[in-house]
Amino acid sequence: VQTELLRVNPVHPEAEAIARAAEVLRSGRLVAFPTETVYGLGANALDAAAVARIFAAKERPAANPVIVHVPDAAAVRSLVTAWPESAERLAARFWPGPLTLILPRSTAIPDIVTAGGPTVAIRVPAHPVARALLEQAGVPIAAPSANRASRLSPTLAAHVLGDLDGRIDLLLDGGPTSGGVESTVLDLSGATPCLLRPGLVSPAQLEAVVGPVTRRATIGSGTDPLPSPGMMARHYAPQTPVECLLPAAVQKRIAELAAQGMRVGWLAFPAEPTPAAAGVRRVTMPNLAAAYAACLYAVLHDLDAAGLERIIVTLPPEGDDWLMIHDRLARASAT
């Protein structure tokens, strides 16, 4: 297919562009659009054939379910068979925003959306373009990140085109997304809430609202079954091999690689000195986790396009705020 590209104002999206995108969605076709986390690849969530096009365009394994986006908490009721008190409180506090809740699905949701499973992932996005599109389309929108399977998520329209040009019908270009990493995924279908994917809503923020949250190891150990298929280790990965190192090990490793004649990219922190070695492309990352998240994928996309042989990342500090970054870096460097 020919991919149509429409620019939209990210704060006050033009009614015409939104109407066009809503029409494409309602006709069973694919629309990529910005959310406050990353760009999503949307289809009418109630139309199994339309959702099948998402899987084809992304080359996504059929076992990996997709998130359903709705305009508000009221729109969730017909899609689930339970709406626990915890969901009510979390929705009131964090929606619209980067939190996805896993709940028991109703029969309104086609099998392909949930990969045949008994639960459905739902979120209410905050981005004005996503909100306008949901309102105009009048249907829930199934939307995984708008990248080919296991590649980096897109934070710019150019990233979407790089992976999906000619595979999707329409792309709404609303400029860079602000959050930078994918939503927090929290499973509410069991006895206690379980964190399946760390994101911009931190565990501490969740626990302040619902009490203790089980923190699953987010990288598959290879022995335990993965509760979320998207938790398979290698995911969100650039094509260039990535090595994550503790601060004390970074300088020596870079010197070693440079001595072998390798061109190396480096995600550094401001306080780190630049090694003398030639051929090192340093990117100084922010000291704050949210700011780091906002630029992480764009930096990795850029370094990946630069034809380097290795990307070195200085590991951030431990701690709640940095959990989402550790998770994404571990996946980017998994082999």
**Contact call for residue 178 and ligand TXA (CB under 6 A):** no
Radius of gyration of the chain, Cα coordinates, nearest whole angstrom = 20
Tokens 């938790």 appear where?
231
Pick from 13, 53, 91, 114 the residue near ligand TXA by CB under 6 A.
114
User: In whole angstroms, how close is the CB of 257 to ligand TXA at the nearest point?
Assistant: 31
The pairing of strands 184-187 and 99-104 is parallel
Instruction: List the single partner that 294 binds among ligand TXA, Mg ion, none, CB under 5 to 8 Å by kind.
Output: none
> At residue 247, what are phi and psi to the nearest 5 degrees?
-50, -40
User: In whole angstroms, how close is the CB of 235 to Mg ion at the nearest point?
Assistant: 7
Residues between 141 and 180 with contacts to Mg ion, criterion CB under 5 A: 144-145
Residue 286 to residue 196: CA distance in whole angstroms: 26
* Nearer Cβ to ligand TXA (119/333): 119
Q: Which residues of 20-46 are buried (b: 16+ CB within 10 A; e: fewer)?
A: bbbebbeebbbbbbbbbbbbbbbbbbb
Tokens of 68: 């359903």
**Contact call for residue 177 and ligand TXA (CB under 6 A):** no
Residue count of the chain: 335
**Contact call for residue 184 and Mg ion (CB under 5 A):** no
**Looking at 93-151, which runs of residues are DSSP E strands?**
99-104, 119-123, 141-142
* Nearer Cβ to ligand TXA (291/306): 291
User: In whole angstroms, how close is the CB of 23 to ligand TXA at the nearest point?
Assistant: 21
Residues between 18 and 77 with contacts to ligand TXA, criterion CB under 6 A: 35, 37-38, 40, 64-67
Instruction: List the single partner that 188 binds among Mg ion, ligand TXA, none, CB under 5 to 8 Å by kind.
Output: none
Residue 145 to residue 41: CA distance in whole angstroms: 6
* Nearer Cβ to Mg ion (258/330): 330
Sheet holding 310-314, edge to edge: 242-245, 310-314, 264-268, 280-284
Q: Which residues of 182-194 are buried (b: 16+ CB within 10 A; e: fewer)?
A: bbbbbbbbeeebb
CA neighbor of 174 nearest in space, from 30, 17, 10 = 10
Pick from 144, 174, 198, 203 the residue near ligand TXA by CB under 6 A.
144
| Candidate segments 74-82, 111-119, 264-272, 308-316, binder of ligand TXA by CB under 6 A | 111-119
Calculated CA dihedral for residues 86, 65, 152, 202, nearest 10 degrees = 10
* Nearer Cβ to ligand TXA (101/250): 101
* Nearer Cβ to Mg ion (39/266): 39
Residues between 70 and 109 with contacts to ligand TXA, criterion CB under 6 A: 98, 100, 102
Contact mark string toward Mg ion, 127..146, x via CB under 5 A? -----------------xx-
Residues that bind ligand TXA in the complex, under the rule CB under 6 A = 35, 37-38, 40, 64-67, 98, 100, 102, 114, 117, 119-121, 143-145, 182-183, 185, 196-197, 228-230
Residues that bind Mg ion in the complex, under the rule CB under 5 A = 144-145
